[in-house]
Amino acid sequence: MTDRTLMIIKPDAVSHNHVGEILKRVEENGFKIVELQMMKLTRAQAAEFYAIHKGKPFYGGLMDFMTSGPTIPLVLEKANAVALLREVVGATNPTVAEEGSIRKAFGTSVQRNAVHASDSPENAAIEVAFFFGNAAQN
Ligand code: UDP
Ligand code: MG
């Protein structure tokens, strides 16, 4: 199976109508969209998804933001998908993200940075299963 990674189009990008442009960039970079849904996260879901950041100063604000409106989790397939998507997405802080990256184009703050991308193959498998179940890994 080709490598898979999880992306989330975050509430800021959905509310600002950047979904089409973000999906276009994903496809133009050679990723195959193999799963996609729109959903508003509950606080419990956001807390579980970002559990690794619990206790950090930005955690409460991140929960508020991630539950503020619909998100679009999607599963992307490509050789070396995890590392390549992190490159296409860019640095966490949009102001220092690389020119041409999705966060540079659509992020407006370190919190409201338009998209999530899994940071390792191990976390990608966990995050894909979180939204789409184990069937999405077959
Ligand atoms: N975040 C934030 N303030 C910070 C750092 C991160 O609000 O100082 C948010 C931001 O939305 C980021 C998410 O928390 O995407 C997860 O942080 P992480 O360091 O894992 O960045 P990422 O892996 O998304 O680049
Ligand atoms: Mg991260």
List the domain boundaries for the chain.
3-137
Instruction: Provide the pLDDT for residue 37.
Output: 98
C-beta of 92 in contact with ligand 1 (< 6 A)? yes
Q: Decide: pTM greater than 0.85.
A: yes
Topology given in CATH for the domain delimited by 3-137: Alpha-Beta Plaits (3.30.70)
Cα–Cα distance for residue pair 68/80, rounded to 1 Å: 32
Residues 25-69 pLDDT 10s: 999 999 999 999 999 999 999 999 999 999 999 999 999 999 999
If phi over 0 gives left and psi between -120 and 50 gives alpha, with beta otherwise, what is residue 79? beta
Specify the residue for token string 């193999």. Answer: 34
- Helix %, strand %, coil % for the chain, to 5? 45, 15, 40
Active-site annotation, residues: 116
Q: Measuring from atom 11 of ligand 1, which residue has the nearest CA?
A: 111
